[in-house]
C-alpha cells in the first residue's frame, strides 16, 4: 500500500469513506438529510482534506457553522458517540486504502477536528 500522494488519492479516500457513512444506520440519516448535492459536497470535502494534508488553499467554507446548524436541525441530537463512529469509519477507510505519514496526519487531524467540532457544537447549544 502507498501513502496518500495527491488529490486523486484524497478523492478516493473521501468517496470511499462517505459511501460507508451514507450507508450507516446512525450516520446516514443525518448526512443524507443535510446534503442534497452529494457530488458537489464530495468535491468540497476533497478540497478540505487536500488543504489539510497538503497545505493547499483549495478549501473555502466554515465547517463549524455548518455542523452547529446540522445539530440544531437534528434537535441537538449529535452526540460524541456519533463523532466516534464517524472517526472509526475514517480510520478504517484510511487503513484499507493507504499506509504512511499522510495517513497518520489524516488520522490525527480527524481526531482533532472531531473533538473540536463536538465541543463547539455542545457550547453552541447553551
CATH of the domain at 102: 1.10.490.10
Residue 80 has which C-alpha cell?
A: 460524541
How many domains does the chain contain in total?
1
Q: How far apart (Å, rounded) are the C-alpha atoms in residues 73 and 18?
A: 20
Helix 38-54 × helix 7-23 angle, to 10°: 130
d(CA 27, CA 29): 6
Q: Is residue 81 a part of any domain in this protein? A: yes
In a domain, 1, yes or no: no
Residue 60 has pLDDT above 90, yes or no: no
The reply to whether 95 falls in a domain is: yes
Joined grid coordinates for residue 78 = 449529535
Burial degree of 46 (CB within 10 A; 0-12, 13-18, 19+): buried
Domain that holds residue 13: 7-124
In a domain, 44, yes or no: yes
Residue 56 has pLDDT above 90, yes or no: no
Rounded Cα gap, residues 83 and 89, in angstroms? 10
What is the per-residue pLDDT across 63-85, written as a single tens digit (0 to 9) for each? 889 999 998 998 999 999 999 99
Taking only the tens place, the pLDDT of each residue in 86-120 is 999 999 999 999 999 999 999 999 999 999 999 99
Q: Is residue 77 part of a domain?
A: yes
Amino acid at each position: 500500500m502507498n501513502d496518500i500522494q495527491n488529490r486523486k488519492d484524497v478523492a478516493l479516500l473521501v468517496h470511499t469513506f462517505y459511501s460507508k457513512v451514507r450507508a450507516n444506520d446512525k450516520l446516514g440519516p443525518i448526512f443524507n438529510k443535510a446534503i442534497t448535492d452529494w457530488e458537489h459536497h464530495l468535491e468540497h470535502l476533497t478540497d478540505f482534506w487536500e488543504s489539510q494534508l497538503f497545505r493547499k488553499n483549495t478549501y473555502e467554507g466554515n465547517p463549524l457553522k455548518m455542523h452547529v446548524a446540522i445539530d440544531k436541525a437534528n434537535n441537538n441530537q449529535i452526540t460524541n458517540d456519533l463523532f466516534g463512529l464517524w472517526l472509526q469509519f475514517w480510520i478504517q477507510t484510511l487503513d484499507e486504502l493507504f499506509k504512511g505519514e499522510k495517513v497518520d496526519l489524516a488520522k490525527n487531524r480527524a481526531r482533532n477536528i472531531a473533538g473540536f467540532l463536538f465541543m463547539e457544537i455542545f457550547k453552541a447549544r447553551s
